[in-house]
Amino acid sequence: MYSCTCPILLRKSNQTKMGSIDTPSTENGSTATLGGAGDGHLLPASDSAGYAPENDVGRKRKASVLPLEVGTRVMCRWRDGKFHPVKVIERRKMHGTGPNEYEYYVHYTEFNRRLDEWVKLEQLDLDSVETVVDEKVEDKATSLKMTRHQKRKIDETHVEGHEELDAASLREHEEFTKVKNIATIELGRYEIETWYFSPFPPEYNDCLKLYFCEFCLTFMKRKEQLQRHMVSFASFFSLKCDLKHPPGDEIYRSGTLSMFEIDGKKNKVYGQNLCYLAKLFLDHKTLYYDVDLFLFYVLCECDDRGCHMVGYFSKEKHSEESYNLACILTLPPYQRKGYGKFLIAFSYELSKKESKVGTPERPLSDLGLVSYRGYWTRVLLDILKKHKGNISIKELSDMTAIKAEDILTTLQGLELIQYRKGQHVICADPKVLDRHLKAAGRGGLEVDVSKLIWTPYKEQS
């Protein structure tokens, strides 16, 4: 899960717990199956019998298209062993001088950008190469063949998570972040494939993998550096990390779950490193180097080895727009376990203690929007199910700390609200509520408010 505008510049859950990989979804919501793609000759997607012997004309044609230009569209064999349409985003020269000595960074047009990757030439079906077409001409020609609804859906996909950017800024963002600079990270016992570009300092430009200390979030180029950082003798040289949990104050402990509040002003390096880490999994995250204005709430699973980060959210110390959350992320190894909704629920519990209503800062990421809609739906349906008599949107807002506008859009999406005689009226038929509750699924982990020990932030004089 995320969302964001959070502190530092700039502006897959393919996690592996020693090798496992999640099944990603296509952009239209269907599931793609992963598997090994065996060696051997490349086959077009429709050909299961194999190629006929290639003639000289075919070989000459293939040679004539190499090396592939940026922008070329071609079929590429993915991890499921099947061919999928891709667009070449970038290319790089490998060892050697021939036209075959290139790797290509491709975007799978059926999938989210988080699955973009470098591929070898042998993964590409050169018989399927399409002529490079000027993007503006292609878009114009395509738009003539689409209905207005289809074009709107495509436009929404193109700007998903970037609603605050104009067309020029969006192009600049996509150009700057089009190629992932870090392929994998090691964090605690997990090796995690990254999803997006993150603006690490220039000295890390040549690193495909980074090693993070899971407690202080210092990142290093080599495994040996991390080991020295963790071993006891390093304390003599002030290199050892003495932390077994995030810096800051523990404000919640229930069973094995713990939440820490970190002040960006007091723990600036930790805040900046957390933002570098989060940007690897958030496409549209806006980063600033000034983390002083933010508080970070880091959720951990605790055991005898320490407190291990699961995810976090951040919020501005003072928000004029009533934002109670700036950025939210559940790390890939911990997704689909209810932690995302727990973080959302926690942010609203803090708003209740502040006697305020809150809303997340926009834009939300695709995963963040799904999580918030699920949370709002579950909370509101539970109240409507139990409540006897009439209830207003204002009363729902006071009870939940959810902003009235978010309540209104959620109930409208569920078709539980009508506009009568100049005002909105909630129509909560018990059978309809039961149907929606069943569709909403489980509500995630519960926040035990009795275990929350916290007072609202006040600027120290």
* Cβ atoms of residues 375 and 360 within 8 Å: no
* Cβ atoms of residues 314 and 6 within 8 Å: yes
Active site residue 354: no
Element of type H or E holding 230: helix 223-230
The order of strands in the sheet holding 15-16 is 15-16, 190-193, 184-187, 209-212, 219-220
Those residues with Cβ within 8 angstroms of residue 266's Cβ, 6 or more apart along the chain or in another chain: 247, 248
Which tokens in the block code for residue 181?
């600079």
Distance of alpha carbon 282 from alpha carbon 3, whole angstroms = 7
Closest to 11 in 3D by CA, of 326, 286, 338, 329: 286
3-state secondary structure of 287: coil
Vertex 426: Cα angle to 420 and 427 (nearest 5) = 95
* Cβ atoms of residues 351 and 420 within 8 Å: no
Residue 199, preceding peptide bond in cis (omega within 30° of 0): no
CA distances from 357 to 108, 274, 322, 352, 398 (A): 41, 27, 7, 7, 7
Q: Which of 224, 361, 395, 446 is catalytic?
A: 361
Residues with catalytic function: 361
